[in-house]
């Protein structure tokens, strides 16, 4: 199980470096979906299967919208891929920074501290991830509504900034 977690965490860091180094929105959106899959795999490994499934479905829906907007706004005839030298160089710099940071904080990380949410299931009434989702909606409901409002406002601001001089469907008649 530890080797699978190492593989998922390595894929997560590699995918984040690929997303951060890529200037093309096509490959960046694909990289974000791969990173979301790796992150949800890490959550499953820690015992959060329900939370991982919900997070992946919501994230894929959001990424579909972001990919549609980014593909419509930045239509490049020849997008730069991960194999081009400038993108590969920046990706290697990001990976070296991640390795240097992990070596800096290496002393406190151990495999034995990876305890899943279901380790103490004999004392629990519910699974660990389902209880967390219920707590998020009960105690964190106000912040959840505030987060949805901020995301809607951000979407409208980005659309207003990127439309340029032409008015589109919102022009005055």
Q: For 54-100, write each residue's pLDDT tens digit.
A: 888 887 777 777 777 766 766 666 777 777 788 888 888 999 998 89
Could you tell me if 76 and 152 lie in one domain?
Answer: no
Residue 46 lies in a domain: yes
CB 41 within 8 A of CB 50: no
Confidence bin at 123 (pLDDT 50/70/90): low
User: Same domain for 86 and 52?
Assistant: yes
Residue 125 pLDDT > 70: no
> Alpha-carbon distance 70 to 28, whole Å?
10
Residue 170 lies in a domain: no
Using the structure block, give the residue that is written with the tokens 């959106």.
Answer: 29
In a domain, 101, yes or no: yes
23 within 8 A of 80, measured Cβ to Cβ:
yes
The structure's pTM equals 0.62
Q: Mean pLDDT for the chain?
A: 76
- Domain membership of residue 157 as a residue range: 128-164
């Amino acid at each position: 199980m530890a080797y699978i977690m190492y593989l998922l965490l390595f894929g997560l860091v590699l995918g984040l470096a690929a997303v951060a180094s890529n200037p093309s929105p096509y490959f960046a959106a694909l990289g974000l979906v791969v990173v979301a899959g790796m992150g949800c795999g890490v959550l499953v490994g820690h015992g959060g299967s329900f939370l991982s499934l919900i997070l992946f479905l919501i994230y894929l829906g959001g990424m579909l919208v972001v990919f549609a907007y980014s593909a419509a706004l930045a239509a490049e005839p020849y997008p730069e891929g991960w194999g081009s030298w400038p993108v590969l160089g920046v990706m290697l710099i990001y990976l070296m920074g991640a390795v240097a940071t992990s070596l800096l904080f290496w002393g406190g990380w151990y495999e034995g501290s990876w305890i899943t949410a279901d380790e103490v299931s004999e004392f629990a009434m519910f699974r660990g991830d389902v209880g967390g989702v219920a707590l998020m909606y009960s105690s964190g409901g106000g912040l959840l509504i505030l987060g949805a409002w901020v995301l809607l406002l951000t979407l409208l601001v980005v659309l207003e900034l990127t439309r340029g001089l032409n008015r589109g469907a919102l022009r005055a008649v």
